[in-house]
Amino acid sequence: MKNQTPNNLGTEKIGKLLVRYAVPAIIAMASMSLYNIIDSVFIGHAVGAMALSGLAIAMPLMNLSAAFGAMVGIGSAASISINLGEGKKERTFNILGNQVMLNLIIGLSLTGLAFVFLDDILRLFGASGATLPHAREFMSVILFGNVITHLFWGLNEVMRASGYPRKAMAMMLTSIGLTAVLNAVFVFGLGWGVRGSASATICAQGVALGLELWHFSRKRSFLHFRRGIWKLSRPIISRILAIGAAPFLVNFCTSAVVIFVNRALMTYGGDIYSGGYGVMNRVVMLFVMVCAGLNQGMQPVVGFNFGARQYDRVVKALRMTIMCAVGVMSVACLLGELVPERIARLFVGYSDADADALVAVAARAMRMVMMLFPIVGFQVVTSSFFQYIGRPSRSIMLSMTRQALFLIPLLIVLPPVLGTDGVWMSFPVADFVASSLAAVLLFLQLRKWKIEGTSPSKG
C-alpha cells in the first residue's frame, strides 16, 4: 500500500485528514472490541451462559494486561507524532526500537506473574466454584500469548502514527477475520470450547503480527527496523510512559471497576448477573472503541500540529472529533434504550436453561448504563486530547476521576441501598460528573490559548 507521508498533516484540510486517519482507526478499534464479542458469542452458544459469566470474571485480568500494552503502544505513537511535527525524524527510529523492547519485557514479566497467581487473582475478581474453571481455562491461553498481543497492538499504533493508517487497518481486519474463522474451527469443529476461543484469538494475532514485523523490516517503510535502535533510552522510555500513563490508568481503573461490579453483583444477584454484565459490557465497549478510533485518528493530526504550533488546526480537529463522538454515543444510547433484549439474545442459544435470565439482566443493565451516553463521547475525546497535546497530567486526572473518584465510590455506596440497580445506576451518575469536569478543563485550556494569542477566536 502506498505510504501516506505525515508531512501533509500540517497543510491538508482537517476534515480530509480526520477521514483518512480516523476511518481506518475506527475499524481497527472496533475490531478490538469485536474480539471479545466474537469470543462471547461462540462461547455463549457452544458452552452456555455460565461460561459467559466466567468470561466476565476474567475481564479485569485481560484489561490489566491490555493496560500495559496500551501504555507502551499509545505512548510511542503520540511521541512519534510530536517528534515528526518538530522535524525530529531520526529520533522516531529510536522510539520504535524502544517500543518493541518495552513490549517484550513487560509482556513476558506479566505472563510469568499472572500464571503463578492465576487462581488467586480470579477468586479475588469474584470467581465462584461454577465460574472459576471457565475463567481459568480462557486466561491460561490468553496469558500464554500475552507477548504476541502486546507486540501486535503496539506496532499497529506505531504503523498508524507513521503514516500507514490503511495498512494498520488491514492488519486489524486480517486478525479479526481469522479470529472468526478459527473460532468456528476450534470451538465447534474441534470442540475445544472456551480454550478454543482463546486459542483462535492468539493465533489470529500471531499471523497479523508477522505481517507487521515484515512491514517494519522493509527499508522502504517510513519507519523501519535498523541497527542501533534497540538500546533502551531513559529519556525515550520516560516520555513513552508519561504520555501512555493516561490510557494505562484508564485500563487499570477499568479493571478495578469490573472487580467491584462483579463482587457487588455476586453479593446482590449471583453468577447470572456477572454474565449479564459481561454481555452489556461487550456491547458498550464496541461503541467506546469507535470513539477510541476517532481519538486515534485525531492523534496524529493534533500531535503534529501541536508540535508545529499550528493551534488553530488543533482546535478545529478537536471540535470535529467531539461532534462525531457525540453522534456515535447517541446511537448507542438509542439502541440500549429501544432494543436491548434483541442485542443480548445474540450472545446465547435458546436451549440454554439460563439464557432467558441472562438476557433480562443484560437488557436492564443496558437501559440504565447507557442512558447518558451522548455526553460520554465528549468526555472520552476531551480526555485523550490533553494526552495528545503533551498534557498527560490532565488526561490522567480526567481518566481517574470518572473511574476511581466517582464510579468506584458509587459502586460501594449504591448497591447496598438499591441492590443490582445500584450497580447499574452508578455508571450514568459518574458519567455526568466526569463530563462536567472535562468541560471545565477544556474551556480553561482553550481560553488560555485565546488569551495568549495562539488560537484564533474563530476555529
The mean predicted confidence, pLDDT, of the chain is 84
Question: From CA 401, how far away is CA 365, in angstroms rounded?
Answer: 22
pLDDT digits (tens, 9 = 90+) for 267-291: 898 888 988 888 898 899 889 888 8
Kindly indicate the confidence band of residue 456, based on its pLDDT and cuts at 50, 70 and 90: very low
How open is the CA angle 38-44-45, to the nearest 5 degrees?
A: 95
The yes-or-no verdict on residue 387 having pLDDT over 90 is no
pLDDT digits (tens, 9 = 90+) for 10-50: 777 888 888 888 887 787 677 767 767 887 888 887 777 77
The yes-or-no verdict on residue 440 having pLDDT over 70 is yes
Contact assessment for residue 354 and residue 391, using Cβ atoms and an 8 Å cutoff: no
Count of C-beta atoms within a 10 Å radius of residue 388: 30
Q: What is the mean pLDDT of residues 84-104?
A: 85
Q: What are 162's three cell numbers?
A: 507513521
DSSP 126: T
The yes-or-no verdict on residue 299 having pLDDT over 90 is no
Q: Which of 324, 327, 329 is nearest to 294 (CA)?
A: 324
The pLDDT value given to residue 262? 85
Question: From CA 320, how far away is CA 239, in angstroms rounded?
Answer: 28
Q: What ranges in 269-390 are assigned the alpha helix state H?
A: 271-307, 311-338, 340-345, 355-369, 373-388
Question: From CA 257, how far away is CA 29, in angstroms rounded?
Answer: 21
Kindly indicate the confidence band of residue 215, based on its pLDDT and cuts at 50, 70 and 90: very high
Strand, coil or helix: what is 421? helix
Contact assessment for residue 337 and residue 370, using Cβ atoms and an 8 Å cutoff: yes
Residue boundaries of the structural domains of the chain: 16-452
Q: Which of 446, 4, 33 is nearest to 454 (CA)?
A: 446
Contact assessment for residue 144 and residue 111, using Cβ atoms and an 8 Å cutoff: yes
DSSP letter for each residue of 145-211: THHHHHHHHHHHHHHHHTT-HHHHHHHHHHHHHHHHHHHIIIIIIS--HHHHHHHHHHHHHHHHHHH
Instruction: For the chain, give the percent of residues with pLDDT over 90.
Output: 22
The yes-or-no verdict on residue 156 having pLDDT over 60 is yes
Question: From CA 9, how far away is CA 160, in angstroms rounded?
Answer: 13
- Residue with grid cell 480553561, as numbered in its chain: 444
Which residue would you say has higher pLDDT here, 349 or 176?
Answer: 176
Q: At what angle do helices 165-183 and 193-217 cross, to 10 degrees?
A: 150
Q: Which of 213, 303, 216 is nearest to 6 (CA)?
A: 303
The pLDDT value given to residue 453? 60
pLDDT digits (tens, 9 = 90+) for 331-379: 999 999 999 999 998 888 666 667 888 899 999 999 999 999 999 999 8
Strand, coil or helix: what is 48? coil
The pLDDT value given to residue 179? 87
The yes-or-no verdict on residue 203 having pLDDT over 90 is yes
| CA separation, residue 134 to residues 227, 271, 273, 348 (Å) | 45, 12, 16, 16
DSSP 219: T
The pLDDT value given to residue 452? 66
Compute the residue count for the chain: 459
Q: Which of 150, 63, 142, 156 is nearest to 105 (CA)?
A: 150
Contact assessment for residue 328 and residue 374, using Cβ atoms and an 8 Å cutoff: no
The yes-or-no verdict on residue 240 having pLDDT over 70 is yes
The pLDDT value given to residue 1? 42
Q: What is the mean pLDDT of residues 310-320?
A: 84
Count of C-beta atoms within a 10 Å radius of residue 136: 18
Kindly indicate the confidence band of residue 423, based on its pLDDT and cuts at 50, 70 and 90: very high
The pLDDT value given to residue 255? 79
How open is the CA angle 253-299-282, to the nearest 5 degrees?
A: 40
Q: Give buried/exposed letters for 266-302 (b at 16+ CB in 10 A, else e).
A: bebbbbbbbbbbbbbbbbbbbbbbbbbbbbbbbbbbb
